[in-house]
Structure 1
Amino acid sequence: MSVIEIRDLHVSVETDQGTKPILKGVNLTINTGETHAIMGPNGSGKSTLAYTIAGHPKYTVDSGSITLDGEDVLSMTVDERARAGLFLAMQYPVEIPGVTVTNFLRTAKTAIDGEAPGIRGWMKDVKGAMENLRMDSSFAARNVNEGFSGGEKKRNEILQLELLKPTFAVLDETDSGLDVDALRVVSEGVNRAKENTGLGVLLITHYTRILRYIKPDFVHVFVNGRVAEEGGPELADRLEEEGYDRFLTETAVS
């Protein structure tokens, strides 16, 4: 079993108005095989947490720690984090002109594993994963995310997840922009990865609809850069009924 531990994490970002604190003392522990849902209103720090784990240079860690099996994640470069087993599915996947999906996937797999996968077995794995995600085989020869619809970009993110086989996956609003059918297919891909590898999942979302397909073990409510409440799947149902008003009121009063 592997574990990510986040302790008293404070993170800020530079804006036109100066330094803005975003995360204000986050504590979180995620074990492999667990699914943790992070929910909260816009601007609460959910995506900041995701990108801080991944190592985005925009975000400055002012204090606190992130460790993976006791190793200091914050001292790792982005590629070292990927090789250590961390994966980020982005809310807004970027286009990479001139790089085909096939070349991107094999290059990434080689970089993470330290050796190139065998061509025959690798192409079989790619084909099978694309079929499971109901991606047309022609996408393999297209440039990464170039001209892809929102749903196609999200399927491509989960294609990477299934093939690269990380230890932990951070899914930053993977459900945004998906219709019901695409949401189901993408969710099935995440569940397959979890079943096949014991993946630990940190799922960031505003809404409970994806939680109907990817069942969380734990739900954490983010408000104003902190975890305001924690619970099981029933907490997500309560948020669906009540929204975030009571948390925002408590924050304003405090």
Structure 2
Amino acid sequence: MSTLKISDLRVSIETDQGTKHILKGVDLTIEEGEIHAVMGPNGSGKSTLAYTIAGHPRYKVEGGSITLDGEDVLAMSVDARARAGLFLAMQYPVEIPGVTVSNFLRTAKTAIDGEAPAIRGWGATVKDSMKKLRMDSSFASRNVNEGFSGGEKKRHEILQLELLKPKFAVLDETDSGLDVDALKIVSEGVNRAHETTGLGILLITHYTRILRYIHPDFVHVFVDGRVAEEGGPELAERLENEGYDRYLVEQV
């Protein structure tokens, strides 16, 4: 069984005002097949955690560790992390002019697996996944995220998730900017990946609405770079009713 383990993680970034310490000792363990929701107010460190796991160079690890099945993730390059089984669905997917979706997906799959997928079988797999995500086949010939709506960009992220089959997926506010229909479609894709591959999920969100479709096993509340409280799905329900005010008052 695969395990992603984060221990006493402390992370900072450089700003115009100097070094800013964001994560201040985060502990979190995700086992294969588990769904963990990370919730919290703006600026609490949720996205910093996501980008640190992925290897974004802006974020400096001051201490602690991240391991995947006992291997040191922090010692890996970004591409090595992807090959090891880590996946990040970005809050704001970037446009890649001149690179079509079909070429991007096949190149990514080749890089992850170490060999190119058979063209005929791969094409059928991509079309089937696009159909399930309500993506028109014409998307395959469009440049990556160029001119895509917010919902189209997020569906393309989940298309990658389904095709690349990672061990663990970090979903950074995947529900951001989605209408109800798009949210359902994206959630269905995440649930398919979870059910068919035993995917472990770290789901970062401000709101509980996506948790109506993707049901977490554990909920972690982030406040000021730390885990302020942990619990089960009932914790998310309480946050829906009470918000984050009581945690913020405790910080004052």
Please name the residue that 1:60 is paired with.
60
Question: What is the correspondence of 1:61-210 to structure 2 with a 5 Å cutoff?
Answer: 61-210=61-210
Deviation at 1:214, TM superposition (A): 0.1
In structure 1, the residue corresponding to 2:42 is in which secondary structure?
Answer: coil
Deviation at 1:251, TM superposition (A): 1.2
1:190-246 per-position Cα deviation (integer Å, ceiling 9, x unaligned): 000001100000000000000000000000000000000000000000000000000
Distance 1:222 1:181 in 2: 28
Distance 2:168 2:121 in 1: 24
Distance 1:144 1:45 in 2: 28
Gaps of 5+ in 2: none
1:71-112 per-position Cα deviation (integer Å, ceiling 9, x unaligned): 000000000000000000000000000000000000000000
Distance 1:112 1:63 in 2: 29
- TM-score for the superposition, normalised by structure 2: 1.00
Structure 1 residue identity aligned to 2:86: L
Distance 1:108 1:199 in 2: 18
Please name the residue that 2:222 is paired with.
222
Gaps of 5+ in 1: none
Structure 2 residue identity aligned to 1:110: T
Q: Over aligned residue pairs, what C-alpha RMSD do you find? A: 0.3
Distance 1:43 1:83 in 2: 30
Distance 1:121 1:206 in 2: 39
Please name the residue that 1:242 is paired with.
242
Distance 2:195 2:122 in 1: 20
How many aligned residue pairs are there? 252
Distance 1:85 1:98 in 2: 27
In structure 2, the residue corresponding to 1:11 is in which secondary structure?
Answer: strand
1:157-177 per-position Cα deviation (integer Å, ceiling 9, x unaligned): 000000000000000000000
- TM-score for the superposition, normalised by structure 1: 0.99
- Structure 1 stretches of 4+ moved >6 Å: none
Deviation at 1:29, TM superposition (A): 0.2
